Chain A
């Protein structure tokens, strides 16, 4: 079987239909875009180190805030999670590959074009999208954003969206149709469940985003009036349709991380997961509720009071299934024989810090509170506790957990420890002060600010620089371990899911014989 993959040039990777290779390519490209998005975050933080204008012009600053979010969401976090999903979902359900391997190849290889459009938009006349990643009209109308940057942004998201939709179909069909004999739905590992739920969200929500940005594109270029008051349209309509995708997008970015944590916690607690079926149902509930709470991003737009109340209550309800998950993880650890590997530390860090992000989310869901802190740094703090302390730490937990399976070698635990603790400290140093800034009223997306906010901004900037540098440790660890890391063996963590029953790295098509699950 090894002879099949003897030659591995560019053409091999271009045409590959192997889910493991495609998964790895997703992970590597996500890592590259993570550093590109990170560089933009540095520029934002350096500009904000002091009040006044020093490093970049306000227009470039606006582009940086928009493009930092765009790259992190569409090109780093989602593809990173898709990478782990692509690699491990087929193995964990006991299948030789994804349901549609060639479609899987398409989903990956359209992403470089999307990335090129996004990166290119920074260098065209007028620059890229400077209206935030939410691209609200009228700011993104031809009148206020005359350059082609916004058009490139829209087309880039279109391509990335097509990749997401087809990838989602692939995941759903793989999970529903390709499970090994005996692997009933309620025997599936939680990570697989998380991907089933996430893929549903992607399938339902992403085409709606495509519709929204298509209308924006025609408004900009063909004189339509969907979001133009003069022609009878309404910019608020864009916000509704945009958030119908973009709120579920938050769950698309966090549910697979939930799934990974639900694998790691039981493995290193040497216990079965507490409340398996409650974990599954809570994930489905989060997804279902997530689809009907979008307008909590728009309280201040002049909505009906009844609508605001309904969206507030629905949003707060999400805290219940999320709480079920957090408590189930803690109950899994309770009385377990805990082993504090780096993966486990990341998982525990995830639970602690993501919960902070969840709690500030409940605060923001309250209409009166949101009126006070809308569009302030409090919102920035909240979403970074969800994405960095949540999705990013989840990804890191997954990396330390599954790297031995993917490469056959272990990451250095000592370096990993440094990486974890420094990440933990710098992360909080960066984002915790933002809560205070928000409560003090500092608006987001501004290049200059009132000097009373200087202290907190300086702490955040120092934290951000540190956070970025610390991530180099992770890259160094990965590169070094893939060459000289300690040989891992098939089951270094004594996990009990299917991926640990096959060799590290797995051979082509994973299983000599399809596993039978009892």
Chain B
């Protein structure tokens, strides 16, 4: 724009990366359909072709979203972390809060399915299900709760300007997340029931599986955060990305508490 703008709104330049990530998502959807079609029709070549499409789609999605993400990081570096316009900061905050709200509603559908099924079936868990022992989930709960504490610790360090503690505790949070995922896989390998062994297995794996995927996404966000902290991003006052990742992490934590209470403990 030729004249100086009299507002602080972010008006970015056109970008190819959003449509590239659309292409990735579209390819993955088509690949899924091809996989389903070739599975029942016994077409080995078709199945291979479907798998290739799935991988290409996933890579395209990661490329598009990743480049988009890099673009955002670059822009915030160019802007600097000393002075971030209030409207911009607010837009990011609102955006993240509403995104998490939509995720809450997504999980709500599965929790409601679980509650419905546990009321609908007179015997719950169903008599053919050997439920998992509580030890591993207890350890996992402790892990995630501590990770909630470590990320808060890191936040306090950031506000106080203690970069060393900040970096250390951010990394520790991500590591706790990955240990959680490892233990979750261990638990899956011990389970005496599968995704397709009736409603209990269906609800159990869908809930814990989607939660695990969110833990993975949150951990990746934390790793990116770690890299950015190492590069010296953020200031004591302005660190929206840190807060966004932390909010997401707390959300994942809260979902787990719900899971632990209703699926494992009660």
- B10 CB → nearest A CB, Å: 8
Identify the interface centre among B102, B103, B121: most chain A CB within 10 Å of its CB.
B102
- The answer to whether B16 touches A155 (Cβ under 8 A) is no
Residue A512 at the chain B interface, CB threshold 8 Å = yes
User: Given the complex of chains A and B, what is the CA–CA distance between A89 and B26 in angstroms?
Assistant: 28
- B119 CB → nearest A CB, Å: 10
- Selecting from A230-238, A348-356, A410-418, the interface stretch reads A230-238
**Within A147-163, which residues are at the interface with B (CB < 8 Å)?**
148, 151-152, 155-156, 158-159, 162
**Within B47-79, which residues are at the interface with A (CB < 8 Å)?**
68
Residue A1 at the chain B interface, CB threshold 8 Å = yes
- The answer to whether B26 touches A208 (Cβ under 8 A) is no
Interchain CB contact (< 8 A) of B109 among A101, A152, A178, A210:
A210
A241-B112 CB under 8 A given contacts A224-B202, A226-B199: yes
- The answer to whether B116 touches A240 (Cβ under 8 A) is yes
Residue B200 at the chain A interface, CB threshold 8 Å = yes
The contact string, 1 if C-beta is below 8 Å from chain B, for chain A 147-188, is 010011001101100100100110011001110000000000
In the complex, what residue of chain A is closest to B109 when comparing beta carbons? A211
Number of CB contacts from chain A to chain B under 8 A: 201
Interchain CB contact (< 8 A) of B108 among A16, A125, A208:
A208
- The answer to whether A172 touches B9 (Cβ under 8 A) is no
- The answer to whether A177 touches B94 (Cβ under 8 A) is yes
- Selecting from B29-37, B169-177, B184-192, B238-246, the interface stretch reads B29-37
Residue A222 at the chain B interface, CB threshold 8 Å = yes
- A145 CB → nearest B CB, Å: 12
A169-B109 CB under 8 A given contacts A178-B87, A231-B198: no
In the complex, what residue of chain A is closest to B87 when comparing beta carbons? A177
Residue A35 at the chain B interface, CB threshold 8 Å = no
Residue A307 at the chain B interface, CB threshold 8 Å = no
- A154 CB → nearest B CB, Å: 9
Hey, which chain B residues are within 8 Å of A221, CB to CB? Answer: 36
Hey, which chain A residues are within 8 Å of B14, CB to CB? Answer: 12, 15-17
Q: List 6 additional A-B contacts (Cβ < 8 Å) besides A17-B14, A224-B195, A226-B117.
A: A16-B14, A99-B95, A151-B36, A156-B29, A178-B9, A233-B117
Q: Which 3 A-B pairs give the minimum distances between C-beta atoms?
A: A211-B109, A223-B196, A113-B26
Binding site for B on A (CB under 8 A): 1, 4, 12, 14-17, 95-97, 99-103, 105-106, 109-110, 112-113, 116-117, 124-125, 146, 148, 151-152, 155-156, 158-159, 162, 165, 168-169, 172-173, 176-178, 203-208, 210-212, 214-215, 218-219, 221-226, 228, 231-234, 237, 240-241, 508-509, 512-514
Q: Give 8 A-B contacts (CB < 8 Å), ordered by A residue.
A: A14-B16, A109-B19, A152-B33, A155-B32, A158-B29, A211-B109, A223-B195, A226-B206
